[in-house]
Each structure stands twice: as C-alpha cells, then as structure tokens.
Amino acid sequence: MAAASELFTHFIGGRWVEGSGGRTFERRNPATGALVGTFAQGGPAEVDAAVAAAKSSFDSWRRYPAPRRGELLFRAGQLLLDRKEQLAREMTEEMGKVLSEARGDVQEAIDMAFYMAGEGRRMSGQTVPSEMRDKFQMSVRKPLGVCGVVTPWNFPMAIPSWKIFPALIAGNTVVFKPASATPRMAIRFVEALEEAGVPAGVVNLVLGTGAEVGDAIVAHPDVPLVTFTGSTATGTDVAVRGAELNKRVSLEMGGKNAVIVMDDADLALATDGILWSAFGTAGQRCTAASRVVVHRAVQRELVERLVARVGGMRLGDGLDETVDVGPLVSARQLETVAEYVSVGKREGARLAAGGEVVREGALAQGHFHQPTVFDDARPGMRIAQEEIFGPVTALIPVDSLGEAIDVVNGVPYGLSASIFTADVNRAFRAMQDIFTGILYVNAGTTGAEIHLPFGGTKATGNGHREAGTAALDFFTEWQSIYVDYSGKLQRAQIDPVEGTGTI
Ligand code: UN1
C-alpha cells in the first residue's frame, strides 16, 4: 500500500502525471477518518490531454485484432484476481463496504474481464441471405472512438469494469473519471490494465470533480460516447448536454427497488433476502431494497422477524469480519439518510427498528447509521417514492398480488424488484406485470450476474443496458455490408431475379 504522503496522479497517454494546476484533494476512510491518500485534482486541461491521447491511439487500437485485445483483458483480469484480497481491503478503507462485499466487487470486475475477453473471439454479427443471386451480406460491429466513462463510488471496481472492458474489447479508447470518493480504486483498476500491456493512450484516467472533469468530458467534441452511472439529476443533465452535441449517452441512474412478500412466502428466506438487499453496502446500491411490499396476512410476522434480526446486526469498520454493516460513504450521505428518517417519521410511517445516527465509542469518527425499518408506510410517502441510498427500508402493506404489483410499479424508477412466493402462477404474474429491468423470484433485489443485461426502465435509465452482450450494443455501431459478386448491377426491391416468381 502506498505511503500516505504519496501523491496519486492521473494517467494520460501511458504516463502517470500530476497535471498542470497543482491542486490536490484528500480521501479519508469513512469508518475511521484516517487518510487514504492525496490525489491530483484535474480539470479541463487534463481532460483535453487525455482525450487527445485517446483519440490518437484509437486508430491503432481499433485495428488491434479483437482476440488479441481479449488477451490483454484476460491478463488484466488475472492481475485483479492475484490482487483480490489487497484490493478488497483497500476498497473497504476507501469507501466503507464490508470486506466480504468488497471481495465480491473485485470479483465482479474479474468476471467481467474474463467475459469480455471472450467476446474478443465472438463479437457476433449476422450473415443473412440476399434477395439477389451472387450477393453476400452481413453486419459487423464497429467501435466509435473515445468513450467518456464517469463512475460512482458504490461499486468502485465493478462499475468501471462494466463500462471499460466492453468499451475496450469493441475497440474504443477510454477517458475514465471516477467518483472523487474512490480515486484509489480507479488507480488500481487502471494499473492492472497498464501492467497487462494495454497500449499507451488507450485508457486514460483523470481525477477530479464532476463539475470540472465530468463536465469537460461531456462537453468535449472528440468524445462521441459517454457512459454514466449516478444520480438521475446528473444523468439527465448529461443526456441533455450530450444530445446537443449529438453524442451517444448511456445512463444508469436511481432506483426504488421493492421486494414483494406474499402470504404463501417462506418468511425465513424472505427475511434473509430483505436484510441482505436492504442493508448490504449499507443500502448504498442502485439495486438496494428500500421498499418491502408485504401481504397483510404476514405483515406482523415479517416485521417481527426483521426487527429481531436487525437488532443483532453489527455496525463498524468493514475490515472487521464480524461487522455486518459498514459506514456510509460520507458525512453528506449520512445527513441525507438522517433527513429521510425524519421525513418518514413526520409522514406517519412507524419506526420499527433503528433510526439513529451512531456516534459512540469506536464509531465516533465514522459516518454510521443504524439499519432502519419503517412499518405501515403508504405507497405515496416520500420514503416510499424517493431513492434514499442508505440503510433504510419501508414496509408497505397490501391485500393482494395485483395491489402489490401496482405499488411496485408506482414509482418513477424501474431498476430491480423481487417476489417471494411459493406459487408459480403468482411468480409468473409478477414477471409479466412488473416493469423493471431486473426481476428476482425468491431472492432479494441485489445480486445481478455480469452476463445478463443490467439496467432499468423509466427514470432509472435511457434504454441502454450494461453487462452481457447487450453492453456491446452501446459501445459499437452496426455496419451492414453487401458484397455483390454477380458482376452486374442488381437493384434490390426492383430487378426481377431470373427463374423466380414474385409474391
Ligand atoms: C449498483 O448498485 O450500482 O446486482 C450495482 C447487484 C450488484 C451490482 C449493483 N451486482 O446488486
């Protein structure tokens, strides 16, 4: 691990550089307040340099055979695997999630590296027959150029991997701006690519704020595509500004994910699923279960089970393996969560467990909030409509599956939902009628695997998907190619084909 006095820098054109302004920023461990590192703070000048490097390396990178690009990704994935434990510890120090989850975050990046590396030998298009004789036709994927990658702090390895690996395998080059809360993880990610042998200029990293670095990337005329994960407000702004410049923009934004618990559900399993998806990563997941839509017949029993378990959850530094819930990422995030808890109380939901900021003893230096359960919330309340991004969930009682589905769908977002039921008909009804990008049956709302599309409907996204082969649809353009080897002009839709009839 680097000494605290080391200055962590940008990576531009294959070199680690401090940039021009001389400004720096610090990151502190959200559990202890200890210094994680001091980082160069970039701005438009560093973005210009990074885009120039990415632009000039594009032509050779796009012609670097895709299976060879894949080999570099395999190597990067192997380096992440070799370093998994160390990276997980550094992640916990930098953003607070408990160690077991940090290992999962690194693993998700490893999985994505290996998966996208394999795409280097597939990247399938179509070959289809022609209407004419002696004519061949196919579609192939083409990269677009420099891809702007703007990522959040809650999955500091996994989310960059969802964006950067497919961007690279498709032959694009990258300018990467990570969240200011997780610059060290971004550096570790880029180090793996550098050491794997990715050529200079293909991946560039600029550290700094969204207002300076993120904005400059979105505004840069030489960045034709931007992929962003973060708040709906910022994402919408990126989309508007991107549209003015005719850019392709992929957005992953807020969620207000719900678990349905029917009266025939296995309540022990539902309790496990709810606790894991509501309080994992201290609720700071786009996919976190911040609503539990429960059938009235089992409401009381479910609340009792949840309250009994929540009381036993240990808060603390995620490096301690006995800890269940780590800190929130920042003092500001803690404030937001505390504010939502008071909103919930004012709105008349019943606080069933937790509800307090914790400042005692060993936790005094960190941003800790108790895991919190509200009961008897109504679907229109703010705590049942707005993304909280913290360890807070609200039970909403209903009388039927139809009502439950209406409640699940009755929010502006559409990322993830789940249903606990023993009845296959109810499960299929939920699959049919819930309009989210991800749906789970008899599991919580988190835990997506990297080889299926990830993303959401409505205000969660703008129609693109990350992960799976669907990711390639964002990072490539289709080119349809027609090869006429008849030696004569053949006009599609017009000329008759000798020896055939017409319909
Ligand atoms: C996120 O919350 O932004 O499905 C990503 C999950 C994780 C990824 C979450 N695999 O919860």
Model pLDDT for residues 267-280, shown as the tens digit of each residue: 999 999 999 999 99
Q: How many residues does the chain have?
A: 503
Q: Which band of pLDDT confidence, cut at 50, 70 and 90, is reported for residue 5?
A: low
Pocket probe mutation, ligand 1, options 454, 460, 465, 466, max atoms within 8 Å of Cβ: 454
CA of 445 to the centre of ligand 1 (A): 9
Do residues 415 and 397 make contact, with C-beta atoms less than 8 angstroms apart?
no
pLDDT at 287: 97
Average pLDDT over residues 284-294: 97
pLDDT at position 366: 97
Whole-structure pTM value: 0.96
> Could you tell me the distance, in angstroms and rounded to a whole number, from the CA of residue 446 to the centre of ligand 1?
6
The mean pLDDT of 293-309, rounded to a whole number, is 98
pLDDT tens by residue, 33-73: 999 999 999 999 999 999 999 999 999 999 999 999 999 99
Other Cβ atoms closer than 10 A to 365: 16
Residue 437 has pLDDT above 80, yes or no: yes
Ligand 1 atom 3, closest CA: 286
Cα 244 to ligand 1 centre (Å): 30
Q: Is the pLDDT of residue 1 over 50?
A: no
Has residue 363 got a pLDDT over 80?
yes
> In the predicted model, is pLDDT for residue 2 greater than 80?
no
> What lines the ligand 1 site, CB under 6 Å?
108, 154-155, 158, 285-287, 446-448
State the amino acid at position 313 in one-letter form: M
The residue whose CB lies within 8 Å of the most ligand 1 atoms, and thus the one to mutate among 112, 153, 155, is 155
Using DSSP's 3-state secondary structure scheme, residue 446 falls into coil
Atom of ligand 1 nearest to the CA of 252: 3
* 438 Cα nearest atom in ligand 1: 4
Cβ proximity of 113 and 141 under 8 Å: no
| Pocket probe mutation, ligand 1, options 106, 159, 446, 452, max atoms within 8 Å of Cβ | 446
CA distance 412 to 101: 28
Residue nearest to atom 11 of ligand 1 (CA): 446
User: In this predicted structure, what is the pLDDT of residue 6?
Assistant: 84
Three-state helix/strand/coil letters over 336-402? HHHHHHHHHHHHCCEEEECCCEECCHHHCCCCEECCEEEECCCCCCHHHCCCCCCCEEEEEEECCHH
Phi, psi of 85 (to 5 degrees): -65, -45
Mean pLDDT of 395-414: 98
The pLDDT tens digits for 201-239 are 999 999 999 999 999 999 999 999 999 999 989 999 999
Say how many C-beta atoms besides its own lie within 10 A of residue 245's C-beta.
Answer: 14
User: Where do you find CATH 3.40.605.10 in the chain?
Assistant: 45-197+214-253+461-480
Domain with CATH 3.40.309.10 in the chain: 257-441
Q: In degrees, to the nearest 5, what angle opens at C-alpha 288 toward C-alphas 182 and 410?
A: 130
In the predicted structure, residue 3 carries a pLDDT above the cut 70 = no
Residues that are catalytic: 252, 286
Residue 205 near residue 178 (C-beta atoms within 8 A)? yes
Residue 358 has pLDDT above 90, yes or no: yes
Atom of ligand 1 nearest to the CA of 416: 4
Report the separation in Å between the CA atom of 455 and the middle of ligand 1, taken as the mean of its atom positions.
10
What is the C-alpha separation between 106 and 83, in angstroms, rounded? 9
Alpha-carbon distance of 275 to 391, in angstroms, equals: 10
pLDDT at 501: 81
Question: Which CATH superfamily hosts domain 45-197+214-253+461-480?
Answer: Aldehyde Dehydrogenase; Chain A, domain 1 (3.40.605.10)
Question: 82-86, 399-403, 417-421, 498-502: which range is least confident on average?
Answer: 498-502
On the question of pLDDT at 288 being above 70, the answer is yes
For 257-441, CATH number out of 3.40.309.10, 3.30.1490.100, 3.40.50.300, 3.40.50.740 equals 3.40.309.10
| Residue 423 banded pLDDT, cuts 50, 70, 90 | very high
DSSP string, 107-134: HHHHHHHHHHHHHTT-----EE--SSSS
95-122 tens-digit pLDDT = 999 999 999 999 999 999 999 999 999 9
- Give the model's pLDDT for residue 21: 86
At 443-481, the pLDDT tens digits run 999 999 999 999 999 999 999 999 999 999 999 999 999
Q: What is the 3-state secondary structure (H, E, C) of 168-226?
A: HHCCCEEEEECCCCCHHHHHHHHHHHHHHCCCCCCEEECCCCHHHHHHHHHHCCCCCEE
User: How many angstroms separate the alpha carbon of residue 258 from the centre of ligand 1?
Assistant: 14
